[in-house]
Amino acid sequence: MAKSLWLHPAAKPGLFVACLLPLAWLIYAIGTNQLGANPAEGLIRGLGDWTLRALWLTLAITPLRQLSGIAALARFRRMLGLFTALYASLHLLAYAWLDQGFDLPTIAADIAKRPFIWMGFSAWVLMLPLAATSFNRAIKAMGAARWQALHRLVYAAAVIALLHFIWMRAGKHNFAEPAVYGVLLAGLLGWRVWKKTRRG
């Protein structure tokens, strides 16, 4: 029953809608003044939070598929990865617009001056080639081996994104939530190392 559920024709459209819900909520929250005393900051951070959640979910697909034996879960990895790139791009766009007013020299100086912004920008840059080559034509053009090697950058992007989140929260000495993300990421990456070691 569970396996047939993931193969249902409505599964992908349902996931698509679910991935859009956080964005819809943030837009609604702006219109109804529910993002706190600083709505711009609330929007920027909200988009950043959902970038991390989408990225962690993308990384969780393979372990969940292997543990559950539901091969159909792999169908959803590409969509989750693309939504990760979308939320990351909106996060950067909101920062550049609402925090910096699209002043490029100021943005460049801010990226160079503050390590956590540099980390976030670096993670976004790593995500771009992954999103651009996530389609079947790219796999055929590059070859499976080179495509897989490129897409291992997702692990570096996740680690750098976590550092971005940790350093951002360090200013307020709030490490509880970053610690949760860190433990989850350690588990997701640890699973891959363990599986590779077993195969070796």
Asked whether 48 and 165 are in contact (CB, 8 A), the reply is yes
Matching residue, tokens 């490129």: 150
Q: Is residue 184 classed exposed, middle or buried when 0-12, 13-18 and 19+ CB atoms within 10 A define those classes?
A: middle
Matching residue, tokens 């910096």: 100
The confidence score (pLDDT) of residue 82 equals 98
What residues have CB less than 8 Å from 134, skipping those under 6 apart?
Answer: 78, 81, 82
Q: Enumerate the domain spans of the chain.
A: 2-199
Kindly report, residue by residue over 47-84, the tens digit of the pLDDT.
Answer: 999 999 999 999 999 999 999 888 889 999 999 999 99
Kindly report, residue by residue over 93-139, the tens digit of the pLDDT.
Answer: 999 999 999 999 999 999 888 889 999 999 999 999 999 999 999 99
* Mean per-residue pLDDT, 31-58: 96
Predicted confidence (pLDDT) at residue 189 exceeds the cutoff of 90? yes
In 3-state terms the chain splits into helix, strand, coil percentages (rounded to 5) of: 85, 0, 15
* Mean per-residue pLDDT, 3-32: 90
* Mean per-residue pLDDT, 173-187: 93
pTM: 0.94
In the chain, the DSSP E strands lie at none
